[in-house]
Structure 1
Amino acid sequence: MKKLPIGIQSFEAMRSEPHYYVDKTCFVKTLMDSGKYYFLSRPRRFGKSLFVDTLRQAFLGKKEFFQGLYLENNWDWNTAYPVIHVSFGSGVMGSLEELELTQMEILGRNCRLYGIEHLDSPTIKGKFFELIERLHEKHGQKVVVLIDEYDKPILDNIANKSLAIEIREKLKNLYSVLKDADVHLKFVFITGVSKFSKVSLFSGLNNLQDITMNPACATLCGYTQKELETVFADQLEGLDKERIRQWYNGYAWLGEKVYNPFDILLYFSERQFRSFWFETGTPSFLITLLMEKHYSIPSIEQLYLGEELIDSFDVDRIRVETLLFQTGYLTIERMDEKMVGRRTYQLAYPNMEVKSSLNRWILNELVEDVVAKSANETRLIRAIQTKSFNDLRDIFHRFFASIPHDWYRKNELSGYEGYYASIFYCYFAACGFEIRTEDATNHGRMDLSLFYDDICCIFEFKVLENAGEGSAMAQLKDKKYHEKYQGSRKEIYLVAVEFSKKDRNIENFDVEKVS
C-alpha cells in the first residue's frame, strides 16, 4: 500500500510522496496573472496551508518541486521573489502578550531566513514594514507576503468578547502595513477560516480581492469527484463510492462540490466511516450560541439567507448562521438571484459526517450521562427498524428526564415546541435517518417527517400549556399531511407528541397508522 500524505502542510514534503498529489498549481498561475491582493476563507483542515506553501515554493523559484505538474511549463522560473510567510496556525494565543511574542517570533524567523540581523523600528508594525522594504532593496525584486490562519488568534478567544476585540485591533494594526507597503509588494495572499469585514481587519486595503465565493476558485481547496476517482483510483477498489460521497462530499462555494482532503485520506488509511474532520475541533462556542438564542435546530436543515449574512461577521455581532457556514458545518446548496445584485442562498449540511456529528454533539451538551445517551441511539435505531413506537416513546421520555433541572434554570426552553422538536431531530439526525423538517404540503408544513426503508413517520409537536390535549393528533388529521406520501408505497404513521411545560417531558405520545 502506498503511503498517504495525511496531515502534510508542506509542499516540499508532499512532493516527496507524489503518488497521491492532487495538482492545484493551475490556480497559482491564474491568481498571479489576474491580480495582486487575494483573500480566501475555507474551513479548518481543508488544505489552505498546503496551498499557501505551494505559492511560497513557486515564488521562490523551486522548479524541482513542480515536475510533472501544471506549473512546471507555465511559470517564469528565471525570476525568484523574497517571500514573507506569516502563520498563526501553531498554538493558542490567550493574551495580548502572547500575541505580541508570536508576532515577534514570526518576524524574527523571516529575518533569519534572509540574513537580516536586526530591525530598527521599536514597534511590530514598523518592523513588518521595515522587513518588507529591506527585502525589496536587498533582492531587487518586490516582496510576496503570504498570511495563513490570519484569524486564528481571534477565533481562539471568540468566547471572551473583550479580549477578542483587543486582539482584532492588534492584528488590524499589523495588517495595515500591507496598504502602506504597496510599492514594495508583488503578491499578497491571506487565508483563514472566517471572513471578518474589511473595515474591522483590512481597513484601507480596498483592492483586496475576495475569492471565497468565486465559482472559478471553488475547487482550489478540496478534492473534486473526478480528482478523487483519478488520483486515488487504486484506493477506491472494492469500496462503495456512493457511500463515500454521501459521507464526505458536499462542500460548495457556488461551484463544483468537493471533499475535505483530511477526511478522505484518513478514510483510505483506516477503511472505516468515521467523523475524522469533525473530531479535530470542538464547536462548544457554536453550541452555546445555538442554545442562548433558542435556535430551532431543525431549521438548520433549510436556511435561506441573504448575502449579508454569509458575507462576513465581526466579534461584536456574530450571527449563528454565518458562523455555521464559515466554519464548515453548513455549505451552499443553491443560490438564487431574483434581482440584479440581490442573492439568496440556501444552506444545508454538506454531508452525513457533519449532520450526524453536529447533532450528536448538541445532544452531548444537554446530558450528563453521555454513555447512556449513546446506548439510547442504538435502541432508537432498533425501535424505528421494528416499528416499536412504545419503545420510541420510552427512549425519549428517559432522555428528557435525564436533562438536569439546573440546565433549565439558565433558559426558558421548556415552553418552546421548537426545543422539543429539536431534541427529536438531533437524535434522528445523529442516528443517520433521512429526515425532513418543515416539510411543505398544500395544507401546511409538517414539523418533522422521518423515512426508513418502507415506513414514513410524520411528527407533530405541541406543548400542552400552549395548545391543549389532543391538539397534535387533531392537526395531523385536519391538515392531511399524509396525503403527500400516500403514493410512495410506504407505511405511513402519524405520531403526535405532546409535552408538559411543567414536567418538562412527554405527556402524550399517540401513534396511528394511516390505512
Structure 2
Amino acid sequence: MSNKIYPIGIQNFEKLRKGGFFYVDKTALIYRMVKTGSYYFLSRPRRFGKSLMISTLEAYFQGKKELFEGLAMEKLEKDWIQYPILHLDLNIEKYDKPESLDKILNDNLMYWESMYGTRPSETSFSLRFAGIIRRAYEQTGQRVAILVDEYDKPMLQAIGNEELQKSFRDTLKPFYGVLKTMDGSIQFAILTGVTKFGKVSVFSDLNNLIDISMDEQYVALCGITELEIYDNFEEDLQELADKQKMSFEEAAHELKVCYDGYHFVEDSIGIYNPFSLLNTFYKMKFGSYWFETGTPTYLVELLKRSHYNLEQMTHVETSAEVLNSIYGDEEPIPVIFQSGYLTIKSYDEEFELYRLGFPNKEVEEGFVKFLMPYYTRYNKLEAPFEIQKFVREIRAGKIDAFFHRLRSFFADTPYELIRDLELHYQNVLFIVFKLVGFYVKAEYHTSEGRVDLVLQTDKFIYVMEFKLDGTAEEALHQINEKHYALPFEADGRQLFKIGVNFSVETRNIEKWIVE
C-alpha cells in the first residue's frame, strides 16, 4: 500500500513541503522560466495546479532554499536571493458588481502600502501599484516579483453582462499596464488564469508578456505526464488495479481514457488532469472528480447566446489566433478550449488549422450531462435516470417506448428557442444520443436540417433518419435509397430502419416508422 499523502486541494508550496505531502517535481521548469524571461502569461483550466505553481514561485523568490531540498531546484540555483513579492490572488471574491473588484484591489494595495509606504498623490489603483513597486525596489535594493493568480476571474464571472465586463476591463487594463511602465523595478512577473481576453481587453497594452500557454517547452508545467505517472505512481497504479480487479495494463488504460488527453500544443505529449488523477489514487476508484468541483455556467450562457450547434464541438477546426484570444464574449470556442472542455486533437501544418475535441471521457460525459438541463425539461437530478431508461429501452428493442420518451424531451420548448427550432432540435438529439452513446455504440451525424444516427447493442442495430418538417416516410425512403443500412445487413443482430419526422408546428416528433 502506498504511503503517499496526496496534496488534494493543497495550493501552498510551503504547507505541502513541510506537511510531507507528495510533490511531482516541476522546479526544473520553474528555474528555466525565471532564468530565461521576465514577463509571462499562462492559461490553464481550473484545478490544474496554477495556484501551486504561483506559490512555488513565491517560495523561490522568498529565498526559502530549505523548501526545495531534494528537488531539481536545489541543484540548479546557487544564489538564493530574497526579493520583495507582490502576490495578487483574484480567486477569493465573487465579482457581481463593479465595487467587488475595487474592494479586493484596494485591500491588497493597502496591505502592500503598510509595508512599503504611500504618497498622497497616488490616488488611482494604477498609481498606487506603481508607487508600491518603486518603493519596494528602493527600500530592499532588489527588483520586485509580481505574481497574479486567476487574473481573469472578474471578466469570466461577468460574461453576458457587457456593462459589468467593461467596468472590470477599464479597471484592470491600467492596473496591469503598470507591469510595462515599471519594467526597471520588476525582476519577474506572471499572470495566470483560465482564459486569455485579447484584442479589446486587458492585454492590448501589455505586449511584453510571453504567452507560454501553447509553448511546447512548458507544456508539462501544470498537470501530470504519462512518464511522471510511471516515475512517481507505479505502486499506486498497481494498487488501483488490484482494488478494481483489473490488470496493471487495464488500469493504466482506463486512467488514460478518463483523465489524459489534454494537448495544449500541437503534436505534444498528453497531459493528465492532476486533480482527477490524485483523487483516483486517494479513493482508489475512477470518478468524475474534476467536473464535479465546478459548474461552468458561463460556458452554457455563451453556447446558448451564440446559438451554437453542439454537434460541431466534436470536430471544430480553428486557428491559433482564435485559440489564443477571446474577442469580447461573443465567440464560445476559445473560452471552451481554454477552460479545458476542448483540446487539440490534431494539426494541419499546411493550412495551420487545429482540430479540437473533448480531451477525455471524464470531460466529455460530464460536459454533455451538464448541458442536458439547459436544453431539456429535465433537471440534473432527473437526467441520469432518463438516460438510464433510454438505454434499457434500446437494449430491449422497445422502439415505441424509446420515441415516446424522446418526445417528452421536446415538450414545453421554451418560447425563445422557437425562432431557432431547427438548431434546438438538433442540440437536444445530440445531447440525448451522446449520453446514450456512453452505454451503447452510437454514431451521430448532422447536415442541413437532418440527422442520421446508428445505435448498436449486443442484440440490435438501429439505423435512424430524422427529418425536419418533412415526413417519416421520406426519412425511411432516404435510408433505403442511400443504403445507410448496407454495412449492417450481413450482421447477425436484428436490424431496424427507422424514419422520423420532427414538426415545426407542434415543436416535437410528429411520427416515426419502423421497417
Q: Same fold (TM over 0.5)?
A: yes
| 2:452 aligned partner | 447
* Residues 1:244 and 2:251 are matched in the alignment: no
Structure 1 segment 389-408 matched on structure 2, within 5 A: 389-401=399-411, 404-405=412-413, 407=414
Gaps of 5+ in 1: none
| 2:297 aligned partner | 284
Structure 1 residue 493, shift from structure 2 partner: 4.4
| 1:412 aligned partner | 418
CA distance in 2, matches of 1:213, 1:286: 21
Structure 1 residue 369, shift from structure 2 partner: 4.3
Structure 1 residue 18, shift from structure 2 partner: 4.3
1:12 pairs, out of 3, 11, 14, with 14
| Higher mean C-alpha displacement, 364-373 vs 27-36 | 364-373
| 2:391 aligned partner | 381
Structure 1 segment 103-502 matched on structure 2, within 5 A: 103-112=105-114, 115-120=115-120, 121-197=122-198, 200-236=201-237, 237-239=239-241, 240-254=251-265, 255-315=268-328, 317-339=329-351, 343-370=352-379, 371-401=381-411, 404-405=412-413, 407=414, 409-412=415-418, 415-416=421-422, 418-431=423-436, 432-433=438-439, 434-438=441-445, 447-453=452-458, 456-463=461-468, 465=469, 467-483=470-486, 493-502=496-505
Q: 1:497 to 1:230 in 2, by over 3 A?
A: farther
Question: What secondary structure is seen at the aligned counterpart in 2 of 1:412?
Answer: helix
Conserved 8 A contact 1:299-1:437: no
Q: 1:306 to 1:213 in 2, by over 3 A?
A: same
Structure 1 residue 376, shift from structure 2 partner: 1.4
What amino acid is aligned across from residue 209 of structure 1 in structure 2?
A: I
CA distance in 2, matches of 1:204, 1:372: 48
Conserved 8 A contact 2:472-2:512: no
Structure 1 residue 19, shift from structure 2 partner: 5.1
| 2:48 aligned partner | 46
Q: 1:111 to 1:455 in 2, by over 3 A?
A: farther
2:510 pairs, out of 498, 507, 511, with 507
Structure 1 residue 3, shift from structure 2 partner: 2.7
CA distance in 2, matches of 1:493, 1:30: 60
Q: 1:141 to 1:154 in 2, by over 3 A?
A: same
Structure 1 residue 124, shift from structure 2 partner: 1.4
Conserved 8 A contact 1:119-1:131: no
Gaps of 5+ in 2: 242-250
Conserved 8 A contact 1:460-1:476: yes
Q: CA RMSD in A?
A: 2.5
Question: What secondary structure is seen at the aligned counterpart in 2 of 1:345?
Answer: strand
Conserved 8 A contact 2:88-2:147: yes
CA distance in 1, matches of 2:458, 2:345: 25
Deviation per CA, 1:214-252: give whole Å up to 9, x if none.
Answer: 122212111112222332233322432222222222111
Structure 1 residue 439, shift from structure 2 partner: 8.4
Structure 1 residue 399, shift from structure 2 partner: 2.4
What amino acid is aligned across from residue 460 of structure 1 in structure 2?
A: E
Structure 1 residue 501, shift from structure 2 partner: 1.6
Conserved 8 A contact 2:199-2:326: no
CA distance in 2, matches of 1:455, 1:24: 50
Deviation per CA, 1:425-483: give whole Å up to 9, x if none.
Answer: 2123234245444389xxxx9733445557554432211x2x33422222222222344
Conserved 8 A contact 1:373-1:399: no
CA distance in 1, matches of 2:41, 2:493: 49
Deviation per CA, 1:346-404: give whole Å up to 9, x if none.
Answer: 11011112211221222112344434433211111212333332332222123223xx3
CA distance in 1, matches of 2:230, 2:455: 33
| 1:93 aligned partner | 95
Question: What secondary structure is seen at the aligned counterpart in 1 of 2:426?
Answer: helix
| Higher mean C-alpha displacement, 131-140 vs 274-283 | 274-283
TM-score by length of 2: 0.89
Structure 1 residue 193, shift from structure 2 partner: 0.7
TM-score by length of 1: 0.89
What is the number of residues matched between the two proteins? Answer: 495
Deviation per CA, 1:106-128: give whole Å up to 9, x if none.
Answer: 1233345xx33445422211111
CA distance in 2, matches of 1:331, 1:94: 30
Conserved 8 A contact 2:263-2:269: yes
* Residues 1:69 and 2:79 are matched in the alignment: no
Identical pairs, percent: 34
Conserved 8 A contact 2:377-2:409: no
Conserved 8 A contact 2:459-2:494: yes
| Higher mean C-alpha displacement, 483-492 vs 190-199 | 483-492
Question: What secondary structure is seen at the aligned counterpart in 1 of 2:312?
Answer: helix
Question: What secondary structure is seen at the aligned counterpart in 2 of 1:335?
Answer: strand
Structure 1 residue 510, shift from structure 2 partner: 3.3
What amino acid is aligned across from residue 462 of structure 1 in structure 2?
A: K
CA distance in 2, matches of 1:119, 1:268: 53
Conserved 8 A contact 1:94-1:156: yes
